[in-house]
Structure 1
Amino acid sequence: MLSSVLIANRGEIAVRVMKTAKRLGLRTIAVYSEADANAMHVRMADEAYCIGPAAARESYLVIEKIIVVAKQAKAEAIHPGYGFLSERAEFAEACAEAGIVFVGPPASAIRAMGLKDGAKALMQKAGVPVVPGYHGAMQEPKFLKEKAYEIGYPVLIKAVAGGGGKGMKRVDKAMDFDEALASAQREAQGAFGDPRVLIEKYVLSPRHIEIQVFGDTKGNVVHLFERDCSLQRRHQKVIEEAPAPGMPEAMREAMGRAAVEAAKAVGYVGAGTVEFIADGSQGLQPDRFWFMEMNTRLQVEHPVTEAITGQDLVEWQLRVASGERLPLLQENLAIGGHAVEARLYAEDPEKGFLPSTGTLHALEFGSAEGVRIDTGVEEGAEVSPYYDPMIAKVIAHGATRDEALDRLGQALAGTVVAGPRTNVRFLKALTEAEGFRAGDFDTGFIDRNVEALGAVPQPMDAEAARLGILKAIDTEWSHRNWQDGGLTDENTSPWQHVDGFQLGTARSITRRYWVNGEMVEARLTWPGPKPGHGEPNVAVTLDGGVSRFLSDYLALSHLPMFRQTPEVLFVIRNGRQTEIRAFDPLDVDLDHLDGGGSVKAPMHGKVVQVFVEAGQQVAKGDRIAVIEAMKMEHTLVAPSDGTVTMVAVLAGEQVAEGAPVASIEASAAQAA
């Protein structure tokens, strides 16, 4: 067995690898960027080394820096995790040249299967069916557009070196092709350092099913059954499960056999995943699946395979890298129960799933039997705009699919996050969605049901706002040190009392609060203390609606989660976050006084492109700028017809959430 391993990654995968490595007695070595100096994986490692600034291209993607650290730390092996350099043949070669074991396949296998175009050509030669498309080297935009026309819309543009939805765009008509191609190439360059793409036919009613394969240096190759990754949004996996619902045994055998043969064809060693697209329009059938690509690394969703097989795939990786045989052969592997995994992200489903950054003021995971949590962050950590927005993976295992989904839903219901917005409520809704529970779904399920799943703008949670304001009042009164309705300090003016005493009717005042960035008026009424009690009472009424009394609030047995910071009170209720801030009449947002013509950054990120300049005429929906955050691009558009009066950013700059990007003066017709 190896004696030490450097993990050339960050976040939950670095923590995941370290847990197994430590259990096996290996010395663990972490690398980190300046943004990750206080990260969990850094503190968990036996040794840790800083390798550069926050941007991945200056730290985690620099092969030379990682090799230097590995030599300095006398690391016997390097585990690449997933993403970053995990599928770069140059990295595997650099490890070999430095005399360091690469915990992964040989560079030749990465080259053969890591590039989608070459992998498809290899599969075609081996007789494995592939999705129709163009997988050649020609990258001239006009030529690619012609190929898309020949294939027939809709098509998928996919990064040759890509994965995880980066550099992938669906195009439904020719007029949208040029813009989609340029965006896919930029994302591919930024995420993988390679802008090349291929074009494929988009399969209607597609099921995304992948096979976990493993090889050793003795020529043994096995598969550990399939995973269904069809529940996706923007080509990003949301919930994965194993085994695949509705999978006939004949199809499982056919896909497993094809995956093993594909791995053997390139002399594969270590963990890999062969991905297929299946036509689910008439149920899964052995002759209706096509090879898509092979990921030459451990996958994000590997825990569901671990759950149904009872195996530790990271341990398998380390043992194979140590020169050992596979722990089990095919006849010794079997499926036990069902497992599902949900990816908990820092994103806002109510605002188009925009990435959400900031401090994790609260982070508590729900629990249930058979549930496992993989995370690389903890309460107090910072979710930055530089990396993937994953907070955790929530994995549930049960005897049946329904039991696994019930356990996953229970864990999600008990999960509390304050600070960045998250998709926890959306994930919970998915576990309960009728079509998904019945196994009637494909990769378009989320897009077709986005409104029913609550991933659209929602009205303010008025009950959360009322309870939050009462919580703020209770905190304020506690700080005033009152007893029996009066103050105990030297200032005992009757106007300082909070017991509601007065000679006329019940006293009331109006206070203003910011609730999720919108100003609301709350009427506070003092009916006086309850009979037999000296404590003061107060009622809060929002917009003339339902009132809630402080005495009732204090008596509630099931309160939402509250988390107070110096600036904001977070109220977490039913998986949804409500932010309450005190209103300061001197704090005026001048940007909102222009009639809604301000275009602001929806998240912290980097300005990739600016399309307008001051004085330019624009129409509603015209592109203003593109901002990149958490490895994905987001286009900002004009809110109305008008004239650009100001552009506040330049390409290449970093912008904070809410920062002005441009201002547009609406045309006379729009203003009217």
Structure 2
Amino acid sequence: MMKTQIRRLFIANRGEIARRIALGAQSLGIETVALYSGPAAPGYLKGLVTELMCVEEENPALYLNGERMVQYAIQGGCDALHPGFGFLSESAGFAALVIKNGLTWVGPSPESISKMASKAEARAIAKDYKVPVVPGLERMKNNSPAELIQSVNDFVRDHGFPILLKAAMGGGGKGMRIVRDTKDIEESINRAQSEALNSFGDSTLIVERYVEHPRHIEVQILGDQHGNVYALGDRDCSVQRRHQKIIEEAPAPGLRDETRKRMQEAAVSLAKGVHYFSAGTVEFIMDWAPEHRDKENFFFLEMNTRLQVEHPVTEQIFGEDLVAWQLRIAMGETLKDKINLKPQGHSIELRLYAEDTKNNFLPAPGPVYGFLPYHSQGIRWEAGIDVIDEVTPRFDPMIAKLISTGTTRDEAIAKLITALKNSVLAMPISNASFLLDVLQSQGFARAQPTTKYIEEENQNLKQASESRKARTDRLAKTLLQNLGSIRASSNEVSADTLTRNIFTKNTTSAEVISYASEMIARNPGRYKSRETKLGKGWIENSSFTYCITRDKGALIRWLNIEGETYFDKQKDDETSTSGKSGAHAHDILAPVPGKVIKILVSQGSAVQERQTLLILESMKMEFEVQATKAGTIAEVLVTQGQQVQSDTLLANWQSETSK
């Protein structure tokens, strides 16, 4: 085959993956072009992306518009396009469109994508290549709702409950429902289809027998255009919430070498069968029920024909740049005798999300008053925010990825714990403290959690958090009384310093509180008036990081004490407004900021406790607003299609006296 030279690459994506692609391209001397909106380009892309093109508004619809992506690539003088992950990264039609317009597509062929894009077709192909699959329906009749319901009922008759409905064209937990009762089949199908259509543009579903205690294990594949395909080890992605990964590690702990070999051979066989090249991932589930785990049986789940969010852990233990390899493969380079296939050490990735772990992990977008990641040997960050920024409800709530690598798994865990305790991620709500609880739990230390780990260990995780808070609450109270009057010597920090460790170690003094360092952060291009102080100190032998700023007439203070975070907002005319305002316990409130997509009640509707009243869409997920009591609706205060903020009152109850 003829080799192609890529000189200028269009990045059809945003956030941390745009930054990661730019770094990979830069290592090969390739120029890059990316999009942004707003008064100024994000600082985390400056100096990495050659040209940043301003658009009127960044939103999912923009990045899902293939023709516009190609137009921007041509307008930017690019000769190649990298889709990143999500959006159009697994669209065979988009890949074909890119190629048709004379651009080099950085990814697998449209034909390979097409074969693996539908989970239904992928299951059938996997069976053809003798890859084990869970019993299911890979070619359901989806021509009409009645046929679909009948297909599911027929499957249940033969295999029983529970079953799993999932989007045939997607992933990430979107368009997925577990069904345990016949009465829930129709509604579960409707909701799964709606979410699948909203997220992936296709409402097709498949059904499988639901494995109750699975581990989620995947194999990293890398293939070239000369027919060479290699497996770069495996990863464990079992720690999840809402069917979405939050912790990934490589290699998958606790598996026999024989099992790894069989799993990797199955992945390579499937990839070769569909003539796959570029980076990809073959995902499996392993039945880890106590009575089955000794067998280490694994079943094909899906193949992701793109770069995975969790690719850094594989890069860390193999010492290979997967993004650079995607580009080199797209230019026709061979992998033979050039790729390292011997892993060293252990690597773990944490996904930091703007989400409320105490409220069913609902998205919690909002301002980031300060972000300064901790750095040391073996620590890597993949971030898509600036030192001062905001998490918007328009996109996925992932803020950053924190990756650690050590000689052993225990060493990697210890490094993550240190990094979480010494970083600044100053925002009202995030999952940082929750991730610390998981890392320090016995279940995670045993190295064999299933995808039900968080659900099953939730009470133990809460107790661990409460135990830590019993000590840190007192320290936080002391610090909050002092933080408003800090007069430490401050240096200025900007987004350019995010790749450096700006904190200096300081031995504990005889004082109750000592401050090791303080920095001033500004982002004048996007947040002109905001100035933030960020720093580190010690209190009673416990380290803490902090953030102090002012926003909209309020003093904002954030603390991280030994990994437990505190957020305090004090308005000028109030003594304190920590936490949420005191709403009535049964008020019908929006759990997340988003769009009202369905209203299921009206004035005078009699409803039962836990009945779904409205459905909101936020960050490409659907959220039910349910009644917390039985009663009668007096008035619905919103309309379908309306955008609402978190805690917006959606409807009123009829008072008892008016009945």
Give the shorter-chain TM-score range. Answer: 0.7 to 0.9
- The answer to whether the 8 Å contact 1:352/1:456 transfers is no
TM superposition shift of 1:54? 3.8
SS in 2 for 1:450: helix
2:554: which partner in 1? 567
TM superposition shift of 1:129? 1.4
In 2, the alpha carbon distance for the partners of 1:229 and 1:16 equals 21
Deviations 1:111-146 (A, max 9, x none): 101110001111112221111111114123422441
1:613: which partner in 2? 602
- 1:311-460 aligned within 5 A: 311-326=320-335, 328=337, 332-454=340-462
In 1, the alpha carbon distance for the partners of 2:390 and 2:569 equals 21
1:537: which partner in 2? none
- The answer to whether the 8 Å contact 1:337/1:397 transfers is yes
SS in 2 for 1:454: helix
2:126: which partner in 1? 123
| Higher deviation after alignment, 615-624 or 43-52 | 43-52
Deviations 1:256-282 (A, max 9, x none): 111111011111010010111111235
In 2, the alpha carbon distance for the partners of 1:650 and 1:586 equals 36
1:88: which partner in 2? 91
1:496: which partner in 2? none
- The answer to whether the 8 Å contact 2:36/2:42 transfers is no
In 1, the alpha carbon distance for the partners of 2:601 and 2:365 equals 27
Q: Which protein is bigger by CA-based radius of gyration? A: 1
- 1:174-323 aligned within 5 A: 174-282=182-290, 288-323=297-332
Structure-2 change in CA distance of 1:444 and 1:668 (3 Å) = farther
1:466: which partner in 2? 477
| Higher deviation after alignment, 615-624 or 27-36 | 27-36
Deviations 1:355-412 (A, max 9, x none): 1112210112223431100111122111000111111111111111111111111111
Aligned amino acid, residue 319 of structure 1: R
1:530: which partner in 2? none
Which of 153, 156, 163 aligns to 1:155? It is 163
TM superposition shift of 1:602? 2.2
Structure-2 change in CA distance of 1:98 and 1:174 (3 Å) = same
Structure-2 change in CA distance of 1:50 and 1:636 (3 Å) = same
Aligned amino acid, residue 318 of structure 2: T
- The answer to whether the 8 Å contact 2:84/2:307 transfers is yes
In 1, the alpha carbon distance for the partners of 2:539 and 2:218 equals 52
1:136 maps onto 2:144 in alignment: no
1:79 maps onto 2:82 in alignment: yes
TM-score by length of 1: 0.82
Which of 630, 633, 652 aligns to 1:641? It is 630
- 1:435-584 aligned within 5 A: 435-454=443-462, 462-463=473-474, 466-467=477-478, 470-471=481-482, 474=485, 561-565=546-550, 566-574=553-561, 575-582=564-571, 584=573
- The answer to whether the 8 Å contact 1:340/1:405 transfers is yes
Which of 8, 15, 39 aligns to 1:4? It is 8
Aligned amino acid, residue 233 of structure 1: R
| Higher deviation after alignment, 620-629 or 392-401 | 620-629
Structure-2 change in CA distance of 1:395 and 1:594 (3 Å) = closer
In 2, the alpha carbon distance for the partners of 1:456 and 1:583 equals 35
- 1:590-605 aligned within 5 A: 596-605=585-594
- The answer to whether the 8 Å contact 1:613/1:646 transfers is yes
2:45: which partner in 1? 41
- The answer to whether the 8 Å contact 2:424/2:547 transfers is no
Which of 636, 656, 659 aligns to 2:645? It is 656
Q: Across the two proteins, how many residue pairs are aligned to each other?
A: 590
Structure-2 change in CA distance of 1:298 and 1:586 (3 Å) = closer
- The answer to whether the 8 Å contact 2:248/2:310 transfers is yes
TM superposition shift of 1:36? 8.9
In 1, the alpha carbon distance for the partners of 2:557 and 2:151 equals 49
- The answer to whether the 8 Å contact 2:136/2:207 transfers is yes
TM superposition shift of 1:203? 1.0
Aligned amino acid, residue 172 of structure 1: R
Structure-2 change in CA distance of 1:612 and 1:41 (3 Å) = farther
SS in 2 for 1:639: coil
In 2, the alpha carbon distance for the partners of 1:429 and 1:263 equals 38
Structure-2 change in CA distance of 1:379 and 1:179 (3 Å) = farther
- The answer to whether the 8 Å contact 1:145/1:174 transfers is no
In 1, the alpha carbon distance for the partners of 2:264 and 2:612 equals 46
- The answer to whether the 8 Å contact 2:544/2:559 transfers is no
2:508: which partner in 1? none
In 1, the alpha carbon distance for the partners of 2:408 and 2:439 equals 14
Aligned amino acid, residue 146 of structure 1: N
Aligned amino acid, residue 105 of structure 2: F
- The answer to whether the 8 Å contact 1:116/1:160 transfers is yes
- The answer to whether the 8 Å contact 1:251/1:286 transfers is no
TM superposition shift of 1:4? 1.3
Identify unmatched segments of 5+ residues in structure 2: 488-536
1:67 maps onto 2:70 in alignment: yes
Deviations 1:189-229 (A, max 9, x none): 11111111101111122111111111111111111011111
2:31: which partner in 1? 27
Structure-2 change in CA distance of 1:176 and 1:137 (3 Å) = closer
- The answer to whether the 8 Å contact 1:222/1:329 transfers is no
TM superposition shift of 1:420? 3.9
- The answer to whether the 8 Å contact 2:82/2:107 transfers is yes
SS in 1 for 2:554: coil
In 2, the alpha carbon distance for the partners of 1:653 and 1:424 equals 31
2:519: which partner in 1? none
SS in 1 for 2:435: helix
In 1, the alpha carbon distance for the partners of 2:484 and 2:453 equals 44
TM superposition shift of 1:561? 1.6
1:106 maps onto 2:109 in alignment: yes
In 2, the alpha carbon distance for the partners of 1:618 and 1:373 equals 48
- The answer to whether the 8 Å contact 1:248/1:285 transfers is no
TM superposition shift of 1:612? 1.1
- The answer to whether the 8 Å contact 2:25/2:31 transfers is yes
In 1, the alpha carbon distance for the partners of 2:287 and 2:168 equals 23
In 2, the alpha carbon distance for the partners of 1:579 and 1:49 equals 37
SS in 2 for 1:452: helix
TM superposition shift of 1:309? 0.5
CA RMSD of aligned residues (A): 2.9
- The answer to whether the 8 Å contact 1:617/1:642 transfers is yes
TM-score by length of 2: 0.84
Identify unmatched segments of 5+ residues in structure 1: 477-552
Deviations 1:440-475 (A, max 9, x none): 321111110112223999799853663365237758
- The answer to whether the 8 Å contact 1:203/1:279 transfers is yes
- The answer to whether the 8 Å contact 2:220/2:280 transfers is yes
Which of 158, 166, 175 aligns to 2:174? It is 166
1:500: which partner in 2? none
TM superposition shift of 1:560? 5.4
